[in-house]
Structure 1
């Protein structure tokens, strides 16, 4: 999306159409791929006839009661980058975690369905996870609906360069970590982050 020097000048959709299918059957091995989320955003826009920014404002930000400015990156054609480039304050990001901790409720109203939250937190293939590069991060883990399950009751959203949204319902804990790590993925720091959040949960 013109973020990286020397990148192409194609739009997001044009770029997505150049990607090839992986040789292994779908669902056999968990692999996080940002283009899948970008394509999901495009599908949502085309199915609804509305921009992602407008959908998120009406379906998520307004019901959550966000208070800060929120922005999303777009390509040269105005297509929203659903997988990255969404900027909001730590407090407003925490509101998402708190809503998920409360089963999809916020400010006395339902934001997402209880069945979707339950599906997110109780399903997903543990076998596909075990075959993935992510297995050491959460040995009992699974992945579903864009959320990582630790297999120990907590769950999280993980972004590149050190962004974390960690939710531990049992200990009534929501942690937002914002960072500017120099590399997109720094595995050693991921393990430190998990250890810190587990230790923090024991203190609350």
Structure 2
């Protein structure tokens, strides 16, 4: 790879990059760190967390804790009390949450209201419904938190513990410790921390399903390679190939963008490419045709561009 050109492009256009790892055919072919980081430093990967939550849903389904993605959301919350006139919520399924096609009662996401509450899952449930149409794409981070509650109730243990046993340990990823954000200041400090650690949990101890996880680029690349391997790692099927295929197939659309089960589906010359994309440029990119995985960890930067064009212009031509 043209190391000088790549570094120059990162420094000029993507200066918040902390680390970059590239795998080809399962082999590490490029690794570079910036701003004083090394291979063990963890970074908050923002919404890349959502795609990892998708893998955990697949594992729970494989193990029989969840029957299918068409199960009604409220089936997992038998004690939840509906408000008068909200019967439509009963038709919302797990699949609607995974494909971002559930409706919500807000114009813009009420992050502060949800993340200052005592129970973030219940706060998400309280926002379901409204005048929106079930089946229409509506990206929601606060709504994603409901998935954490679903896994907790279906499995009988925290999503974080389940992830440690079924994903992190087999991949030899150091399990993140639960991290609590007690107020707005600590919340902002975590997001802006260049050396963030752990997995954010709510006051009930449930990890955030839509953000809040910290990983290093090597660990992000392992997760991408697991998906490229159709769920197999060191000869063991960690998550079914059918789930990998289904979750990385288009199920909904937002303008020209395709969406699977908490994965973005990229249309790149029928390459079977999909990606986990997070705020500030955090990326796990998987290209089936070229057998390439790219992991990029980035510090917080408002309105940062995605790294897809960067990967297409400066990585694929060199190794594809």
The two structures share one fold, judged by TM-score above 0.5? yes
Q: Which runs of 5+ in 1 are unaligned?
A: none
What is residue 177 of structure 1 aligned with on the other side?
A: 296
SS at 2:298 equivalent: coil
1:104 has 2:242 as partner: no
Kindly report the root-mean-square deviation, in angstroms, between the aligned alpha carbons of the 2 structures. 2.1
Q: 1:9, CA displacement in angstroms?
A: 4.5
Change (3 A) 1:27 1:150: same
Where does 1:44-193 land on structure 2 (aligned, <5 Å)? 44-66=151-173, 68-70=174-176, 71-125=198-252, 129=253, 132=254, 135=255, 139=256, 141-152=257-268, 153-183=272-302, 185-186=303-304, 189-190=305-306, 193=307
Q: For the Cα contact (< 8 Å) 1:142–1:149, is it kept in 2?
A: yes
CA contact (8 A) 1:69 1:88 kept: no
How many Å apart are 1:122 and its aligned residue?
A: 2.9
Question: Secondary structure of 1:64's match?
Answer: coil
Q: Which has the larger radius of gyration?
A: 2
Query: Is the CA contact (8 Å cut-off) linking 1:165 and 1:175 kept in structure 2?
Result: yes
Tell me which residue corresponds to 1:198: 312
Q: In 2, are the aligned partners of 1:69 and 1:89 still within 8 Å (CA)?
A: no
Residue 8 in 1 paired to residue 135 in 2?
Answer: no
- Judge conservation of contact 1:64–1:111 (CA < 8 Å) in 2: no
Query: Is 1:43 aligned to residue 150 of structure 2?
Result: yes
The answer to whether the aligner puts 1:25 opposite 2:133 as a matched pair is yes
Deviation (angstroms), 1:81 = 1.2
The DSSP-based 3-state class of the residue aligned with 1:100 is helix
Instruction: Output one character per residue of 1:104-133: Cα deviation in whole Å (capped at 9) or x when no partner.
Output: 1111111110111111233413xxx1xx3x
CA contact (8 A) 1:154 1:166 kept: yes
Confirm or deny: 8 A CA contact 2:280 2:300 kept in the other structure: yes
Gaps (5+ residues) in structure 2? 1-110, 177-197
Deviation of residue 13 (structure 1)?
A: 2.8
* Contact 1:164–1:178 (Cα < 8 Å) also in 2: yes
Residue 91 of structure 1 deviates from its aligned partner by 0.7
Aligned length in residues? 182
Pick 1 or 2: higher relative contact order, CA cutoff 8 A, min separation 6.
2
Q: Is residue 168–residue 175 contact of structure 2 (8 Å, CA) maintained in 1? A: no
